[in-house]
Amino acid sequence: MLFLNAMQEEKVILVNENGKKIGLMPKMEAHEKAVLHRAFSVFIFNDKNQLLLQQRALDKYHSPGLWTNTCCSHQRDGESNIEAGFRRLKEEMGFETSLMEVGSFIYKAPFDNGLTEHEFDHILVGKYNEDPIINKNEVASFKWMDLDDVRVDIACHPERYTEWFKIIFDKFYETINIKQDEGSGK
């Protein structure tokens, strides 16, 4: 109950289709009403060009147990995209690294529990070569995967992955791959 109360008090930043802030709303209310709000998705690569994936904790309020990008969440009011990504990466995966924003997009995904993610999502990319120290309240497991293997697994088993991850991977595969290569000095 304490977790649910804390989540209801957390506010997301409402935005228009251009990403401009238009207000704040409690997180659960925004998901219940499917209101467009700001979010971010972090993609961390190692020097072997593998992507660090996380499996969402089994008690998450939506998409529990599904595989997804390294971490994701919502910016706090007054927090930049990079600051938010940096904060959440530390909270979920237990490490810090530099991040670079590589794009953004809008998506809408309804869930079986009646909630809907309707997000203006900012994609952040970074490099890291160690295994994370995961926060078990947020993350059930992790793995490093080659991008081509991720692509094949999504095609064969889409039910294993979060909706936003599948959308990002499909729309931004080339951009993410190029940007992470740039970050490695290739």
3-state secondary structure of 73: strand
Q: Per the residue annotation, which of 71, 92, 117, 119 is the catalytic one?
A: 119
Within 13 Å of residue 136, how many CA atoms lie on the same side as its CB?
0
Q: Which of 6, 57, 8 is nearest to 28 (CA)?
A: 8
For the beta carbon of residue 157, count every other beta carbon within 10 angstroms: 10
Beta bridge partners of residue 144, listed in sequence order:
52
Q: In one letter, which amino acid is 171? A: K
Contact in structure between 56 and 66 (CB atoms under 8 Å): yes
Calculated CA dihedral for residues 77, 79, 82, 84, nearest 10 degrees: -60
The sign one gets for the Cα dihedral 128, 172, 68, 1 is: positive
Q: Per the residue annotation, which of 72, 92, 117, 163 is the catalytic one?
A: 72
Say whether 71 is catalytic. Answer: no
Say whether 72 is catalytic. Answer: yes
Contact in structure between 164 and 107 (CB atoms under 8 Å): yes
The two three-digit tokens of residue 185, written as one number: 């000095």
Catalytically active residues are 72, 119
